[in-house]
């Protein structure tokens, strides 16, 4: 019965306001993004991302579109393509046998408080095998939000957390996205 109720809730959410998808990946990127950065504890933070870390050494955090162009500093987007949160790391994860074991979660909340996505562990497929320590230097969490046609301007709060399953390190934070 609980599964049926969950299915109905997700179906109704997809049918009413908007639809969302998420994806995550890892990789390496040395290029410094354009835009205004705030320096916080040796971390360059763009797009007014609120972030804190413990034991994980975050080098920079920023938003970019799926095609690789940067999200404007004001975070106003037309949602024609997914938005990627990029976390470039400078170490801090526990490495075992050349592998890192990460978890990542994402929650997207509409301006009316409606939870559109609540993904608890985006890296659950890598729980047993882990990912290479080299790939763990760049974490990418993607959110694709599709608005109804002629929808009024709205905003979304995106909350995220990336944690080390073999250690105490984590990065967590949030950012806002605004429709044009």
Tokens of 9: 């809730």
For the structural domain made of 20-179, what CATH number should be given? Answer: 2.60.40.1220
> Is 75 in contact with 47 (CB distance < 8 Å)?
yes
Summarize pLDDT for 111-146 with one digit per residue, the tens: 999 999 999 999 888 888 999 999 999 999 998 898
pTM (two decimals): 0.80
Domain ranges of the chain: 20-179
DSSP β-ladder status, 170-179 and 76-77: parallel
For the residues 3-21, what does the mean pLDDT come to?
A: 35
* For range 146-170, the mean pLDDT: 93
- Contact between 172 and 161 under an 8 Å Cβ cutoff? The reply is yes
Which of these, 44, 58, 135, lies nearest to 90 by C-alpha position? 58
Q: Are 179 and 77 in contact (CB under 8 A)?
A: yes
Q: Are strands 155-164 and 138-147 parallel, antiparallel or unpaired?
A: unpaired
Task: Print the SS3 string covering 15-84.
Answer: HHCEEEEEEEEECCCCCCCCCCCEEECCEEECCCCEEEEEECCEEEEEEEECCCCECCCCCEECCCCCEE
Work out the pLDDT band at 3, boundaries 50, 70, 90.
Answer: very low
C-alpha span between 39 and 153 (Å, rounded): 31
């Amino acid at each position: 019965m609980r599964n049926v109720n969950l299915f109905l809730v997700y179906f109704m959410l997809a049918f009413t306001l908007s639809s969302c998808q998420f994806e995550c990946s890892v990789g390496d990127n040395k290029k410094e993004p354009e835009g205004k950065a705030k320096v916080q504890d040796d971390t360059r933070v763009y797009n007014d991302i609120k972030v804190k870390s413990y034991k994980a050494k975050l080098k920079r955090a920023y938003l970019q579109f799926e095609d690789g162009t940067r999200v404007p500093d004001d975070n106003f987007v037309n949602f024609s393509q997914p938005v990627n949160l990029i976390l470039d790391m400078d170490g801090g994860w526990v490495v075992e046998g050349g592998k890192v074991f990460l978890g990542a979660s994402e929650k997207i909340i509409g301006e009316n408080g409606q939870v559109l996505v609540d993904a608890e562990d985006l890296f659950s497929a890598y729980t047993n095998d882990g990912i290479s320590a080299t790939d763990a230097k760049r974490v990418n969490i993607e959110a694709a939000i599709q608005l109804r046609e002629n929808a009024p301007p709205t905003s979304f709060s995106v909350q995220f957390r990336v944690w080390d399953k073999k250690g105490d390190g984590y990065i967590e934070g949030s950012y806002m996205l605004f429709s044009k």
